[in-house]
Chains A and B, each alone.
Chain A
Amino acid sequence: MAQADRKDNVEPFVFPVKSPYKPENADIVLNGYADFLTQDPASSWVETLRQQGKARVEEFGIPSPKLERWKYTNLFPIEKERFKVQLPAILNPSIPDKLDGIESRLTIVNGIFQPQLSDMPEGLYCGSLKSFIESNDDWLRPYLESQDERVRQFDDQMLMDLNAAYMSDGIVIHVPKNVHIENTIEILSVLAGPVSSHPAILIVVEDGASLTLCERVIGDFGWQNRVNRVHVGSNARLNIFRTQTLSDKAYFTENTVVVQGRDSYLQMLTMTTGAALSRNQYHAFLKGENGECHIDGTYTITDKQHHDTTILIEHMEPHCYSNQTHKGLLAKNARGVFQGKIHVHQKAQKTDGYQLNNTILLSDTAEMDTKPELEIYADDVKCSHGATTGQLDDGPLFYMRSRGIPESVARKIMMQSFLGEVVDKIVDENMKSYCEQILDTWLDNVDKS
């Protein structure tokens, strides 16, 4: 009876939902886009990818803190800089020597491959993305076209779209089936000048192959917004060790999409000391049984630096193992963000997922936001996560001092041992000592002033 009285023609009042998107910001990042297209015309399928990317950027802008996964990282400082893409890069920055023990190096400057600054390795296919696009269409295309369905499901991938809009160059490394590359290969990525760059790095390690990569991201100015696509085939093995030591006037954002096959192994370890603002985002798909995925990192930042690590690991098949170990030191007004998630699909029984985020605040004004998450749809899994944020422990500090170790030395020892859990995972000895050196310098300077 009561229902009959209801006036069906009156719509219930709904509060207007404020859109989390800022399409008005598209103009900022697409400023000069027409010039870019004229200077760097592309083949038809790349052109299509560019247009799709651009269309989405125009529709959604670039991510704002109103989006759930962007709550703690505001890209406003980058917007404010009004960076433009500049082509061609007529640049000859001074670059450091190759790392000890390294013979082959691939160098990009502002995202553009530099053959004259590179020493090509043998036994695999590699080189500039641009040259691969021009000559190697068929093999390459699916890797760049396929936006993985689930990556697409997230509505905050505008930085990937922006990268696609400017698709032009980058690096391709392709290790054929069953080929083991014994010598570590270095990637040197240089930011030079106050411009933006949007390179794509494609790394494909085919079934049964193996490779170790070291990468350094260096430079004084600019913004790199890159996409890494990492494919590790069945029984294949890939280690990537990276340092990002940009100046605190540079910006670094990246999206890494990982696809792993059966019995594959991936380790990707990133040490961050640089950039005014950086965000390393990873989305890994364990698509074959018994895959193993390590995504690790350290962040040691100071002053007004901001660093964000955002990870989603998807266990899609049974018996996979994943490990995220992330440790950081935040000094002065530094701000850190860690959002790590393990998603276990219903089918992925016997998943073993591990996640750890520990941060030490070295000042009262440093700040850490950490958000570990588990989403589990299988019933027979082992997942653990832990997050702590605290100060350097007084007890060990006093104990060491009572043994004659000066406070500054004692603090350094404690900070080193804190980060040691991650640093010790670097199995490439040369890269490890390079990383230790960088941390050493950072630690020596952080307690001063």
Chain B
Amino acid sequence: MLTIKNLHSSIDDKEILKGLDLEIKAGEVHAIMGPNGAGKSTLSYVLAGREDYEVTDGSIELDGEDVLELDPEERAAMGLFLAFQYPVEIPGVQMTTFLKTAVNEIRKQKGEAELDALGFLKLMKQKCTELGIDQDMMKRPVNVGFSGGEKKRNEVLQMAMLDPKMCVLDETDSGLDIDALKIVADGVNKLRSENRSFLIITHYQRLLDYIKPDVVHVLANGKIQKTGGPELAQELEEKGYAEFERAA
């Protein structure tokens, strides 16, 4: 599904990713854990195509297609989705308008028929119910005045609506209490399928109690330092990241 080779990326001429390799197969759930400042969000932004992150070397392929050539919207239409660590507020743009535009623009790019108002509302209602999201939230401007938990649930809602094949979740667990965490994890688990892969970025092992990963990586100093099974997460929880930060 996703193949990253020797990825180097910098911002403001400061190199953050220094040769990162990652291979995620269809249906797999991978977790990336790492200390603050390791470059986790940088990786997620580079994947989504944020322009201020310069890729100086390496490649990213999604199902064999060169992702780095594509605009963010084209990546989204291919089925790449990033749940932001810090979801962005868009004053004056209603959630419903935003979501409907997104759903239909992706359908257009894929050559599918657009959803009409009724079809869209039905889909939205269903997904909101599944994620325990109050419909009233959809009348508010995107992320404006949302609580931390609402913002994160909103990211998962968007993910469910857009039906991507490669989902990247950047610290979707941070700032959530245990109930909200369960709802979010539950939403993600429902989306798990053999055609859909996940990259779950987190600082803490906690989320991985609810979303069981197949593979766990440690990212520090811009590189994958270690790869293992779910037990690696437990190990990190106990020992911390000191060993890896020293290693680099």
Contacts and interface: CB of A to CB of B under 8 A. Distances in A.
Contacts of B34: none
A377 interface: no
Given A402-B49, A405-B73, A396 B105 contact: no
A400 B73 CA distance: 8
Contact of B92 (A395, A400, A405, A421): A421
A125 interface: no
Interface in B37-59: 48-52
A417 interface: yes
Interface string B126-147: 0000000000000001100000
Contacts of B93: 396, 413-414, 417
B242 interface: no
B158 A403 contact: yes
Main secondary structure of the interface of A (DSSP, over half): helix
B84 interface: yes
B45 to A, nearest CB: 9
A404 B77 contact: yes
- A-side interface size class: 20 to 34
Given A398-B50, A413-B101, A404 B92 contact: no
Most chain A CB neighbours (cut-off 10 Å) among B51, B73, B109: B73
A106 B194 CA distance: 68
Contacts, number: 76
Contacts of A421: 92
B92 A401 contact: no
Interface in B66-104: 71-73, 75-77, 81-82, 84, 87-93, 97-98, 101-102
A418 to B, nearest CB: 7
Interface in A376-420: 394-396, 398-407, 409-410, 413-414, 416-418, 420
Interface in B109-133: 109
B158 to A, nearest CB: 6
A402 B72 CA distance: 5
A404 B76 contact: yes
Interface of A: 394-396, 398-407, 409-410, 413-414, 416-418, 420-421
18 contacts: A396-B88, A399-B84, A400-B98, A400-B102, A401-B73, A402-B49, A402-B73, A402-B82, A403-B106, A404-B76, A404-B162, A405-B101, A407-B71, A407-B73, A409-B105, A410-B73, A416-B92, A417-B93
Which 9 A-B pairs have CB atoms at the shortest separation, nearest pair first? A417-B92, A404-B76, A404-B106, A401-B72, A403-B102, A399-B88, A396-B90, A395-B88, A401-B73
